[in-house]
Amino acid sequence: MIVRINALKPLDEFKLFVAFDDGKTVIYDLEDDINRLPGYGDLKTITGLFDSVQLDESRTCVFWNDYIDLPSDILYEYGSECKTA
């Protein structure tokens, strides 16, 4: 099943609030990704890049540029479930 994102909001400390069509909401912490994945360090070092996160047309991926993105299933599975942002 491909999960679709309904809402997306960048938060402090490199976290994303993500709401899905099925009603689940999560906070996804990108700190580990930033520290271990090539290119993701730009989210910390380029001013304003993290806050420029976008949702693709299919609503199944968030992205910052041509080489930094995250699919919705990763956000859904590994995000910490929450009630509100």
- Which distant-in-sequence residues (6+ apart) come within 8 Å of 4 by Cβ? 20, 21, 58, 59, 60, 72
CATH class of 5-82: alpha beta
pLDDT for 83 beyond 80: no
> Can you tell me the mean pLDDT for 53-79?
97
pTM for the complete prediction?
0.93
pLDDT at 2: 84
pLDDT over 90 percentage in the chain: 93
> Can you tell me the mean pLDDT for 9-34?
97
Strand ranges inside 12-79, DSSP E: 15-20, 25-29, 54-55, 61-63, 69-71
pLDDT in tens, 26-50: 999 999 999 999 899 999 999 999 9
